[in-house]
Structure 1
Amino acid sequence: MEDDCVCEYDSTWDTESDGEDPAGESQTRRNMRAAKDMQTYRRGYPNLTDDECLEDKMNNLQFYLNKSPSSPDDVYIDSFLKEWKNDYKRLERVHSYIQWLFPLREPGVNYMASELTKKEIEKSEDAQKRLVESYELMLGFYGIRLINKDTGEVKRAENWKERFGNLERNMHNNLRITRILKSLGELGFEHYQAPLVRFFLEETLVRKTLSSVKRSVLDYFLFAVLDKQKRQELVRYAYLHFEPKDKFVWCPRKIQRQFRKAEKRSEVVGNGEGKDDLRAKAKDMDTKEDAMDNNVKSQKGDKTSKEKINLKHLPNQKVRLRLLKMGTLVQRTTTM
């Protein structure tokens, strides 16, 4: 029967389920609108044609080079990074800046923001530096800290409880985070995507925080990751930590069975390696102890041989008998 978890808009696995599970087993349904949207993004907007754009009209690039302000806020990027940082009320209340900080090749709610064009996606050290600062600013707003600019690794910030509370209350931030992830992939920071998604998966599925963000993490964040191998690894991580398993709809059931089998094999191998390690360590300990015993015996033997006296050199029979009782004599053939 047909696998109800196979999604035509998800090419993560490039596979068809063998359909051994009965149809309708899962009551949770995949968000097809989200799946289609994320696939369109991952494929580079195949139906989108960039308008011809002169270099001096590249508004997003000019903004990140600090040559033109955002609209309608009329704020230059350098001013924004200084004046808006940690101004959480303004960051929450104003909705027109996020399209400038993280431009996309698709329209947003701010009609005065310019859509990103391919010609603007170029390497500019100044622009990239400011983009990372913008990313750190928004992470701070969400209670997250970038701890490695090379790998994109993130962790909780000191004020995470307060900021997580804001995330829970204001769900429009889920859309902002989706935009941030997409923009990172467009602007040369694809390697930042997976660490942030992994962070949200751990928070929602393992630590059981951010319950109102959970569905967006699975529907949107997860499938914004452009690196297919990393995306597969994240889906596997999500499945292994998701409960109940029969409600997981973000990959085909065939893949879910493969995950379960691989996990069981890993557990068996892990247990086997543990026993082998214990045996090896025990054997190694025995060998070392035997070596130490032999060494001690050898040292004692050397010491005893020095202390032992040949009977031939003893002055008289009484002395010899007394020393024999003390056990310090070596008896030789015709000594006594």
Structure 2
Amino acid sequence: MESDECEFDSTWEDEHQNKTPRKKMYRRSRRNMYAAKDMQDFRHSCQFLDYDDEEPVRDFFYNLEFYQGRIRSSPDNIHIDEFHKHWWGQYGWLEEVHSYIQWLFPIQEQGLNRWSHVLTKKEIKLFRRDKQALRNLVKSYEVMLDFYGICLINIHTGEVRRAPNWRQRFKNLNRYTHNNLRITRILKCLGTLGLEHYQAPLVKFFLRETLVNAELSNVKQSVLDYFMFAVLNKSKRRELVGYAYKHFRPQEEFVWGPKKILQKETSKEAN
């Protein structure tokens, strides 16, 4: 393995392997090791979510109850239907309010909103089987995509494209970089709650906009360090890393995958 391959990345290895990382120095660009470890931990946390476990059954699952419309969020006191109806296109609210994102996209990690709730393994299994909750989650995803200047054009494949007002929304996304953290959370939530097929199309969109179209310069690093490695499907993750390598400049500074493998795969595509 080359010196520019991060040992926290299992894209070319067995996801179940837990190796002790070695400190490595890179001549030019350096891989964000904190990000790599964070995303590895996330992928490991999503293993075996549909299997039975010994976690005690609770009587109340806050995130699922919220998405079923049974309770309101805290501290904003928003019903899920109200959010979908009244917050769509309210870009000022969506930018300035920071407590709704943990309710809309729950994950297995505690967020900054102390009134939100971490997903439990049992709750994840129940959520994945609940069609109403999943439909509402997709609606929430569409609200946030619109906020970022993106349209979901196929709910079955997850394909996305630029929205008509993309220039204005890209300007906001490029200015307020805390949205990079929000998008990482959204990707984690989609993978955790059974909408894994939505992950890769969104990441491919951001790779194209940053590396090919030279938009969103302040999002580029997060796309490479975080977004790509939130994708749970290993083959799709490999495709995304290959796409990133193909379009990254200068290519010799690419540190998000093994160059020998990437060069070989790129060469095959060219032939």
TM-score with structure 2 setting the length: 0.89
The residue number in structure 2 matching 1:152 is 158
Give the CA deviation at 1:4: 2.3
Kept in 1, the 8 Å contact 2:72–2:79? The answer is yes
Task: Give the alignment of 1:101-250 within 5 angstroms.
Answer: 101-121=104-124, 122=126, 123-250=129-256
- Counterpart of 1:44 in structure 2 is 45
Larger Rg, first or second structure (1 or 2) = 1
Identity of aligned residues (%): 56
- 8 Å Cα contact 1:60/1:116 also seen in 2: yes
Is 1:95 aligned to residue 98 of structure 2? yes
* Aligned twin of 2:71: 68
Partner of 2:82 in structure 1?
79
Aligned residue in 2 for 1:54: 58
Give 3-state SS (helix, strand or coil) of 1:145's partner. Answer: strand
CA 133–25 in structure 1, closer or farther in 2 if over 3 Å, else same: closer
The C-alpha deviation readout for 1:9-45, integer Å capped at 9, x for no partner, is 1010129xxxxxxx96740000000000000111116
Partner of residue 325, structure 1: none
Partners in 2 of 1:241 and 1:253 — Cα distance?
Answer: 13
Question: How far apart are the structure 1 equivalents of 2:46 and 2:109?
Answer: 9
CA distance in 2, matches of 1:63, 1:29: 41
CA drift of 1:7 comes to 1.1
2:43 and 2:244 map into 1 onto residues whose CA distance is 20
Distance across 1 between alignment mates of 2:54 and 2:139: 28
Unpaired runs of at least 5, structure 1 = 16-22, 267-336
CA 1:215–1:120 in 2, change beyond 3 Å: closer, same or farther? Answer: same
Offset of residue 260 of structure 1: 4.0
Classify 1:59/1:11 alpha carbon distance in 2 versus 1 (closer, same or farther; 3 Å).
same
> Is 1:12–2:11 an aligned residue pair?
yes
**2:36 corresponds to 1:35:** yes
Structure 2: tracts of 5 or more residues without a match: 15-23, 48-52
CA distance in 2, matches of 1:66, 1:209: 38
**Residue type matched to 2:69 in 1?**
N
Between the aligned partners of 1:103 and 1:226, the Cα distance in structure 2 is 17
Per-residue deviation at 1:80? 1.1
Q: Please tell me whether the aligned partners of residues 26 and 246 of structure 1 are also in contact (alpha carbons under 8 angstroms).
A: no
Residue 178 of structure 1 aligns to a residue whose secondary structure is helix
Between the aligned partners of 1:25 and 1:100, the Cα distance in structure 2 is: 39
What CA distance in whole angstroms lies between the structure 2 residues aligned with 1:237 and 1:108? 31
Task: Please give the per-residue CA displacement for 1:110-168, whole angstroms capped at 9, x wherever unaligned.
Answer: 11100011111221111111101000000000000000000000000000000000001
Q: What SS is found at the alignment partner of 2:88?
A: coil
Contact kept, 8 Å, 1:184 with 1:193, in 2: the verdict is yes
2:2 is aligned with 1:3: yes
1:230-289 deviation per Cα after TM superposition (whole angstroms, max 9, x unaligned): 00001000000111011100002222332343244x2xxxxxxxxxxxxxxxxxxxxxxx
AA aligned opposite 1:38: M
State how far apart, in whole Å, the 2-side matches of 1:66 and 1:261 are: 52
Distance 1:245 1:26 in 2: 13
Structure 2 CA distance, aligned partners of 1:211 and 1:33? 21
Alpha-carbon separation, structure 2, partners of 1:66 and 1:155: 30
The 5 A counterparts of 1:263-282 are 263-264=269-270, 266=271
Which structure 1 residue ranges, 4+ long, deviate > 6 Å from structure 2? Answer: none
The structural deviation recorded for 1:54 is: 1.4
> Secondary structure at the residue paired with 1:43?
helix
| Whole-Å separation in 2 of the counterparts to 1:136 and 1:260 | 34
For residues 98 and 53 of structure 1, do their structure 2 counterparts lie closer, same or farther at Cα, with a shift above 3 Å needed? farther
SS of the residue 1:38 aligns to: helix
> Partners of 1:50 and 1:164 in 2: how far apart?
45
TM-score of the superposition, structure 1-length normalised?
A: 0.72
Distance in 1 separating the partners of 2:38 and 2:259? 22
43 and 89 in structure 1: CA distance in 2 versus 1, 3 angstrom threshold = same
Hey, what's the Cα distance between the residues in 1 that align with 2:27 and 2:183? Answer: 28
* Equivalent residue letter for 2:204: R
**What is the deviation of 1:83?**
1.2
Q: Aligned-pair distance for 1:192? A: 0.3
| Greater length-normalized contact order (CA 8 Å, ≥ 6 residues apart) | 2
